[in-house]
Structures are given as structure tokens and as C-alpha cells.
């Protein structure tokens, strides 16, 4: 009888080191009518809270050295120039928050898009590469305009997917900016919003409530779902992107910022990579191909 132990072969799971990407995005929308910086509003502070929350959020990100993508409306840049310039100086990406389905006609939509591009170029000298439609309302004409103006990605749609996709290329309408030869060779990359989800059921089950309401009511409970989404991505995908859409008027309150800071610290320790949406979109192009 041989004294050697029987050989046993174990199946080994081979998996590359995962690259789990989180993109922090903040929407700086146009201030409500009559609530621009310094406007007198009866019973209300002159400065809208969204700008206060945005400044607090910028402080939180700065302490951790984390990049973000700020989608700014043209009117927000005009109302809060110092805040917007601060985002540029901090190294954040600036995208355009605009109208995704303009009913006013081609010339008006082109003019609005051109004004937004010019406003962002005036902040840091660079044209925006990314677009987000307020309200996630996108039509083919808008996508064609973005393509013609050399945008590289859109981040308007919401999805549970943790993988970007390429949008079909739309032919530009006559007079819609650049010519087809000047536009990108392939369609825009869609960088979907993965958190928060669009809606949650109301108490009566019939009237949906915006997911942002849960962030306001119970920020730690809401942000736990964000943490679980990101850790699921890390544990199940070799490569994935989770894009967060943060409303500074909601997350910029004290309870929201404390909860967000704890979640970000946990994700940093877990090895999650934080990129701007433009950086993540560039990686997506390499993986999706032409």
C-alpha cells in the first residue's frame, strides 16, 4: 500500500480583479422663478437652499478627494457663477443640464443648446461632453443635436443595468449645428442613472412618490440601498458603472450629508473606483467598440 495521499483536483474559479466604478453626479437646476441669487422673496432667504447644499456637498467631496460630474443648467450658471467656478477649479467635470424634448421648435432648441454650451465654456474654457435632460425627457431630435455638437454621452435615462450602452445614431436635422462629417462616428454612449430609482409606491399604492422623498425622510435607509447596489456590482461584475444622481437641495441637508459621507467611506474601503462620467464613458467606449 502506497504511503502517498490520493491526489485531488479542485475546480478553481478564475475571475479578473473587478473594476467597480461609481459616478457621482449632481444636478444644479435653474433656480425657481424669482429665486435667483440675491432676489428678495418674502419670508425666504435670498439664496436658494440648492446652492447652499451644493457648496456643502462640494466640501464633502473635497475632504475625500473624490471627483464628480455637475450637470448645470444655463440659468444656474448665471445665478451662481462663483459656485460653478468653484466646481471647475476643484477639478470636477461640468455637463449640461438641459431640455431633452423641446416643443418650441428647431431654432429655439438649437439656440438653447448653444447658450448652454457657451455658458459652460465660459466657466473653464472647455465645451461639455455630457448631457442630462431635466425630467429624463429625450427625443430623437435632441439626440441628433447632441451628436452634431460633439457630445460624447448622455446620462438622462434611469435603469437597473450596471453597464452603459450605445444609442443609435440619429441623423442631424437640417440646420442642427455641425454637419454629419463633424459629428461623432458612432452614437452617443448612454450612461444610465442607477440610483435613486425613479419612484416608490405611495401609502395608498396608487400615487407614486419621488424616490428623492425617501432620501429626505430617511437618508440612512435610502443610502443603504445605494451601498448594497454598489457592493452587488463589485461582487458580481468584472466591470460595471453605477451612476448616482444627487439633488443638492435634498442630499445637502445635514442628515443626508452625514449618511452620504459614511457610505462613501465604506465604498472607498471596499475598493470602489470613483470617476467622472466622462472618464467612465471613455472606458465604456473601449469595451463597447465602435
Query: Using one digit for the tens of pLDDT, what is the confidence trace for 105-122?
Result: 567 888 999 999 999 999
What confidence category does residue 19 fall into, taking pLDDT thresholds of 50, 70 and 90? very high
Q: pLDDT confidence of 175, banded at 50, 70, 90?
A: low
Residues 6+ apart with CB under 8 A from 3: none
Length of the chain equals 290
Q: How many CB atoms lie within 10 A of CB 220?
A: 15
C-alpha cell at 91: 477639478
Whether the predicted pLDDT of 27 surpasses 70: yes
Q: Which of 12-26, 107-121, 135-149, 175-189 has the lowest mean pLDDT?
A: 175-189
> What pLDDT sits at residue 178?
47
C-alpha grid cell for residue 180?
454629419
Q: Are the beta carbons of 170 and 159 closer than 8 angstroms?
A: no
Cα–Cα dist 93/116, whole Å = 15
Would you identify the CATH topology of the domain 19-33+44-288?
A: TIM Barrel (3.20.20)
State the pLDDT at residue 102.
57
Output the pLDDT for position 108. 81
**196 pLDDT higher than 90:** no
Which residues, other chains included, contact 166 with Cβ-Cβ below 8 Å and sequence gap of 6+?
Answer: 186, 187, 188, 189, 190, 288
Q: Which pLDDT does position 138 carry in this prediction?
A: 82
Query: How many percent of the chain have pLDDT more than 70?
Result: 75
Q: What is the pLDDT of residue 180?
A: 44
Taking residues 127-142, report their average pLDDT. 88
Q: What pTM was computed for the model?
A: 0.84
pLDDT of residue 48: 74
As a whole number of angstroms, the distance between CA 12 and CA 194 comes to 32
- Mean pLDDT over 233-250 rounds to 96
Find out whether 177 and 187 touch, Cβ atoms under 8 Å. no
Determine the average pLDDT of the residues in 90-103.
85
pLDDT beyond 90 at 28: yes
pLDDT at 100: 64
What is the pLDDT at residue 126? 94
Mean pLDDT of the chain: 84
Alpha-carbon distance of 168 to 106, in angstroms, equals: 21
Amino acid at each position: 500500500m502506497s504511503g502517498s495521499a490520493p491526489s485531488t483536483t479542485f475546480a478553481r474559479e478564475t475571475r479578473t480583479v473587478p473594476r467597480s466604478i461609481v459616478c457621482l453626479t449632481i444636478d444644479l437646476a435653474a433656480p425657481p422663478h424669482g429665486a435667483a441669487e440675491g432676489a428678495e422673496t418674502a419670508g425666504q432667504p435670498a439664496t436658494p437652499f440648492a446652492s447652499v447644499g451644493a457648496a456643502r456637498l462640494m466640501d464633502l467631496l473635497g475632504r475625500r478627494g473624490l471627483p464628480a460630474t455637475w450637470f448645470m443648467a444655463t440659468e444656474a450658471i448665471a445665478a451662481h457663477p462663483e459656485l460653478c467656478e468653484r466646481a471647475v477649479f476643484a477639478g470636477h467635470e461640468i455637463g449640461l443640464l438641459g431640455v431633452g424634448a423641446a416643443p418650441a421648435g428647431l431654432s429655439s432648441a438649437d439656440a438653447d443648446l448653444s447658450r448652454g454650451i457657451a455658458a459652460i465654456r465660459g466657466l473653464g474654457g472647455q465645451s461639455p461632453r455630457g448631457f442630462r435632460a431635466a425630467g429624463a425627457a429625450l427625443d430623437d431630435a435632441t439626440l441628433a443635436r447632441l451628436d452634431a455638437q460633439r457630445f460624447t454621452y448622455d446620462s438622462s435615462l434611469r435603469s437597473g443595468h450596471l453597464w452603459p450602452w450605445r444609442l443609435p445614431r440619429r441623423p442631424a436635422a437640417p440646420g442642427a449645428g455641425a454637419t454629419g462629417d463633424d459629428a461623432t462616428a458612432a452614437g452617443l454612449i448612454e450612461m444610465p442613472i442607477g440610483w435613486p430609482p425613479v419612484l416608490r409606491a405611495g401609502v395608498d399604492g396608487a400615487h407614486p412618490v419621488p424616490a428623492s422623498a425617501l432620501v429626505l425622510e430617511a437618508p440612512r435607509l435610502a443610502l443603504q440601498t445605494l451601498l448594497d447596489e454598489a457592493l452587488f456590482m463589485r461582487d458580481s461584475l468584472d466591470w460595471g458603472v453605477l451612476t448616482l444622481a444627487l439633488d443638492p437641495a435634498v442630499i445637502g441637508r445635514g442628515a443626508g450629508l452625514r449618511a452620504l459621507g459614511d457610505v462613501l467611506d465604506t465604498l472607498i474601503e471596499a475598493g470602489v473606483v470613483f470617476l467622472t462620467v466622462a472618464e467612465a464613458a471613455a472606458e465604456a467606449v473601449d469595451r463597447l467598440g465602435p
